[in-house]
Amino acid sequence: MQIQQIETFIVQQKLETPFYFSQWDYDTRTVCLVKVTLDDGTYGWGEGYGPAIVVQASIEFLKPFVIGSNPLHVETIWQTMHRRSLDFARRGVLVASLSAIDIALWDLRGKLLNQPVSVLLGGQRRDRVRVYATGLYFSEGDNLTERLADEAKLYAEQGFTAIKMKVGLGVKKDLAHIRAVREAIGDDIQLMIDSNHAFSRSEAYELAREAEAFNISFFEEPLSPEDYEGYHELRQRTTIPIAGGECEYLCDGFRHLLVDACVDIVQPDICAAGGLTEVKRIATLARTFHAELIPHCWGTGIAFAAGLHLVSTLDALPGRLYTPEPLLEMDRSENLLRDKLTQPVFSVNDGFVDVPTEAGLGVDVDLDYLEEVRI
């Protein structure tokens, strides 16, 4: 039994309604998927987070070191890929490509052993995962504030008990949006804000200070991911928990965030930070610092399923009879690569999504649609 083939697929969707956030605008979604196939035809799917064309090229670089390996030796293969990439890219897209292959290997191993990935990760603590809605992006047109409030209300009606909104247009505008959204959803739903590292230290502090009145559950990426001292300082100055880490890679990157006491919540992306193998280690690392882990998640159903399996295995901190449920990000913005390319389409009930019980990740790719959207 050995790995025979590794194929990459770049898929693209033109958005019907372009949107923007603090850094740039989106009118297309592009993702690189990877399919790893054994000599007996068994296959697994993975996905990398980052510029798809670079993810694809990096997978091509890693491929020869993986082909011919025994697919059950997931950590051995991880270590080989890591050693081969370390000298050139201690962080970044090469790690995302390693992550994509690693996720496909977990999917494969689950299929070979006829077990869901959550069991291979050590066993479920829960069979459904609490998710928060990510949306509330900016779009052109009138009445943005009202439209954001309406969108937030829609998520509340869909059963979400936690919602994350974008900030980063400027403190005054952001506060008006936060106020409108909080009023629209009432006091019982958790509200989080994400600036995608839009702010200077003084702006981030000003927004945090003013936003405290609106009961914000966390402030994500308030500052540049390079500004570790700024994170540490902001965290001392506000009562809002600080979250970050979607631009961080590997245990060593997260160690930096944690040792410097930069964040309350670490947010590794499983498709970027080192795959399921490494994010499981990051979860252990975070626990030793008593920090929460809420994975960043953006992409197709493959990325989301990987998140469901991982979060289903996280221990609540510090642990008690009735514990708060760990969260997973669930992107709700327009995304046919999530809704049509992969099955099943995950549905939300009372703010929770069931963890797949099929062998492997429990998601498959619609090959007809794949050919339609492949570039």
Q: Which residues are annotated as catalytic?
A: 296
Nearest CA-CA partner of 273 in 246, 255, 294: 246
**Residue window 263-302: x/- pattern of binding to Ca ion, with contact defined by CB under 5 A:** ----------------------------------------
Angle (nearest 5°) at CA 165 between 161 and 167: 155
- Two structure tokens written together for 152: 């937030």
* Of 46 and 245, CB closest to Ca ion: 245
- Give the integer Cα–Cα distance in Å for 66 and 62: 7
CB atoms within 10 A of CB 239: 8
Q: How far is the CB of 65 from Ca ion (least distance, A)?
A: 32
* Of 47 and 107, CB closest to Ca ion: 47
Q: Which amino acid makes up residue 22?
A: S
C-beta nearest to Ca ion: residue: 194
Q: How far is the CB of 200 from Ca ion (least distance, A)?
A: 18
Q: How far is the CB of 186 from Ca ion (least distance, A)?
A: 24
Nearest CA-CA partner of 194 in 176, 210, 178, 215: 178
Using CB under 5 A as the binding rule, the residues of this chain from 318 to 347 that contact Ca ion are none
Q: Which amino acid makes up residue 353?
A: V
Q: How far is the CB of 142 from Ca ion (least distance, A)?
A: 26
Tell me the number of residues near Ca ion by CB under 5 A.
1
Using CB under 5 A as the binding rule, the residues of this chain from 38 to 77 that contact Ca ion are none
In 4-33, which positions are buried (b, 16+ CB within 10 angstroms) versus exposed (e)? bebebbebebeeeeebebbeeebeebbbbb
* Of 47 and 194, CB closest to Ca ion: 194
Characterize the bridge pairing of strands 364-365 and 342-343.
Answer: antiparallel
Characterize the bridge pairing of strands 190-194 and 216-220.
Answer: parallel
- Give the integer Cα–Cα distance in Å for 375 and 369: 12
Q: What is the CA radius of gyration of the chain?
A: 20
Q: How far is the CB of 70 from Ca ion (least distance, A)?
A: 37
Q: How far is the CB of 196 from Ca ion (least distance, A)?
A: 6
- Give the integer Cα–Cα distance in Å for 12 and 87: 31
* Of 66 and 96, CB closest to Ca ion: 96
Characterize the bridge pairing of strands 128-134 and 162-166.
Answer: parallel
Cβ atoms of 296 and 99 within 8 Å: the answer is no
Using CB under 5 A as the binding rule, the residues of this chain from 181 to 240 that contact Ca ion are 194
* Of 43 and 132, CB closest to Ca ion: 132
Nearest CA-CA partner of 309 in 275, 343, 336: 275
Place of tokens 């008006």: 176
Q: How far is the CB of 342 from Ca ion (least distance, A)?
A: 21
* Of 93 and 136, CB closest to Ca ion: 136
Binding region for Ca ion (CB under 5 A): 194
